């Protein structure tokens, strides 16, 4: 796995705090991935977070979107809208595949893998992978780097690595179990 490997993060991943926290930590130097998204994906993130009770009536949503934009300015994909009608995956996620195609990104990380059937992605040279599978692959390739990121999250949150893995385990249980067993 090369550093700066571009990976499109779908909105469902960006709204999942434990998972996106780890992925964005892995995007820091020395990075294992270069996160990518589009304005439409960020609009979906904003809409989703505003619909959650604990995010309503505060500035957390705007702050999170601003952090994504300011800390990862190279992540934004643009000028893909003309490709959307050519996409054959789930209609609500055609903009995601179109952004990946335009950005020449080979991997979409999404909890909604079913919305990106191989038949609709392969002809564009794109694959959709569940965050759990992606994180397992990264751990197998660079275990020390993944552990380092987990420890950084634990230190920042003043929790143990095990606490972080238990929280992650609700969303990516095989990944968490694999590391807890190490």
pLDDT digits (tens, 9 = 90+) for 19-42: 999 999 999 988 899 999 999 999
Considering the domain boundaries, does residue 1 fall inside one? no
Considering the domain boundaries, does residue 28 fall inside one? yes
Tens place of pLDDT for every residue, the chain, 182 residues? 455 799 999 999 999 999 999 999 999 988 899 999 999 999 999 888 888 666 555 677 888 899 999 999 999 999 999 999 999 999 999 999 999 999 999 999 999 999 999 999 999 999 999 999 999 999 999 999 999 999 999 999 999 999 999 999 999 999 999 999 86
Do residues 29 and 131 lie in contact, with contact meaning Cβ atoms separated by under 8 Å? no
Considering the domain boundaries, does residue 63 fall inside one? yes
Considering the domain boundaries, does residue 59 fall inside one? yes
| Three-state SS at 127 | strand
Q: Do 67 and 140 belong to one domain?
A: no
The 10 Å Cβ neighbour count of residue 94 is 19
pLDDT digits (tens, 9 = 90+) for 84-93: 999 999 999 9
Structure token pair of residue 150: 């987990």
Strand partners, 28: none
CA 129 to chain centroid, in Å, comes to 10
Domain that holds residue 173: 136-180
Considering the domain boundaries, does residue 87 fall inside one? yes
pLDDT score of 57: 56
Q: Do 108 and 51 belong to one domain?
A: yes
Q: Do 165 and 94 belong to one domain?
A: no
Considering the domain boundaries, does residue 78 fall inside one? yes
| Three-state SS at 65 | helix
């Amino acid at each position: 796995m090369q550093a700066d490997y571009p990976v499109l993060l779908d909105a469902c991943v960006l709204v999942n705090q434990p998972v996106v926290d780890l992925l964005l930590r892995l995007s820091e130097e020395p990075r294992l991935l270069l996160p990518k998204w589009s304005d439409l994906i960020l609009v979906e993130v904003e809409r989703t977070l505003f619909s959650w009770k604990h995010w309503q009536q505060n500035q957390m949503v705007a702050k999170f979107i601003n952090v994504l934009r300011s800390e990862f300015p190279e992540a934004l994909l643009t000028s893909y809208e003309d490709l959307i009608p050519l996409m054959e995956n789930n209609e609500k996620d055609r903009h995601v595949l179109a952004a990946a195609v335009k950005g020449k990104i080979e991997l979409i990380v999404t909890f909604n893998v079913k919305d990106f059937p191989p038949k609709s992605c392969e002809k564009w040279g794109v694959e959709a992978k569940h965050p759990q599978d992606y994180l397992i692959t990264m751990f197998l390739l660079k275990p020390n780097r993944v552990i380092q990121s987990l420890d950084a999250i634990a230190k920042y949150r003043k929790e143990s690595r095990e606490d972080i893995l238990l929280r992650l385990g609700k969303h990516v249980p095989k990944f968490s179990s694999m590391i807890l067993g190490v």
